[in-house]
Amino acid sequence: MVQGCENVRPALRRAPQVSYRWVDPDAVLNDAGTLAVFGFGTGAERSTDPRWLPVDLEVFDAPTPLEIWQVDGPVTHGRVGELQWSSGDGWLFAAITLDENLHGGPLATAASAYAQLCDFVASRRERHVQRIWNYLADINEGAGDTERYKQFCEGRAEGMASFFADGFPAATAIGHHASAPRLQVYLLACDEPGERVENPRQVSAWRYPRQYGRTPPSFARAMALPAQDALAISGTAAVVGHASAHEDDLLAQLDETLVNLEALLSSANMPAGFDTQSPLKAYVRHPTDAPLVREFLQQRLAGVPVLVLHGDICRSELLVEIDGWRYA
Ligand code: 3EB
């Protein structure tokens, strides 16, 4: 009998547990296994811990919960240059917050953020990026190819260079309303690859036609994490094919978004629907729409934890976008 090591595979990593909790950030940061803690809006507390990230998006609910990522086992953390990071059990959190005024506009800032993040991840054992979040100011400012989101897309592609030649991670890109033009990018990576998932109802974003910009958006619709025990779902809106559907119709856009989310679950062989363990975020363009979005989600996704945030979607005709997690 031939004994080889070719069949020996490392144990696949259990997905980080993502939850929203109304707790004291310092207490959570003291818990073993805390990989990252997110606060939202201008009221968010400050901490120098590299696992703490105050996100520039306001929440429509009070009191505002924290978002917490937990892994099995001890976590180490640090800062390198403008980056903050933490790692544990084969998982890596890394984040960068850059002021556009110091980097020369949305394109150059995105290029710098992505170059720094990719350089850092390349130096790590956890080099398989699963999921990225991008928050930038005034995302729909500017016309045509000069729209800030399109400039961001060009800078992102430039900064990534060939790092994602095998395929893009899942992502979200949302506009914030903070007073400073900050770009925040944060990611989750693993020491094992995940599996990219596309939505058969939608043209893959990196194949969008020219009308959406010179550089198509660099993201997959979802990522099945290495152990296939969780699906990381990208920002999902009322896009069918490559076109925006139901212009100016909030409820129809919400309906279409849920159809897209279900199509993704099915495409990933995940059980249909969302449950109490599947935290989602809804990004709402107009604050006056927030109560209606909340009511719709309470009816259609009863019991599902949904954080409703004030965020602009990268196409100005889209009023709402949803992202999040589905655990198997
Ligand atoms: C869309 O489906 C909506 O640029 O990273 C969703 C998720 C969208 C991620 C990104 C953009 C991004 O095209 C927009």
Q: What is the pLDDT of residues 236-273, one digit of tens each?
A: 999 999 999 999 999 999 999 999 999 999 999 999 99
Q: How far is the CA of 4 from the centre of ligand 1 (A)?
A: 44
129, 215, 234: which to mutate for ligand 1, most atoms within 8 A of CB?
234
Quick check: helix, strand or coil at residue 265? helix
The residues spanned by each domain of the chain are 15-327
DSSP run (H or E) holding 126: none
Residue 99: Cβ within 10 Å count: 12
Q: How far is the CA of 174 from the centre of ligand 1 (A)?
A: 8
pLDDT of 11 reads 78
pLDDT of 267 reads 98
Q: What is the mean pLDDT of residues 63-81?
A: 97
Alpha carbon distance 253, 250 (integer Å): 5
- What is the pTM (predicted TM-score) of this model? 0.96
* Homologous superfamily (CATH) for 15-327: RutC-like (3.30.1330.40)
- Asked whether residue 134 carries a pLDDT value surpassing 50, the answer given is yes
Query: Cβ distance 199 to 221 under 8 Å?
Result: yes
Q: How far is the CA of 25 from the centre of ligand 1 (A)?
A: 30
Q: How far is CA 212 from CA 40, 112, 209, 242, in A?
A: 30, 23, 6, 9
DSSP run (H or E) holding 102: helix 100-103
Higher pLDDT, 6 or 153: 153
Q: How far is CA 251 from CA 59, 257, 284, in A?
A: 20, 10, 12
pLDDT in tens, 139-148: 999 999 999 9
Q: Work out the pLDDT band at 2, boundaries 50, 70, 90.
A: very low
70 bridge partner residues: 17, 34
Alpha carbon distance 67, 300 (integer Å): 22
Residues with CB under 6 A from ligand 1: 134, 171-173, 205, 217, 219, 234-235, 237, 239, 314
Alpha carbon distance 168, 135 (integer Å): 18
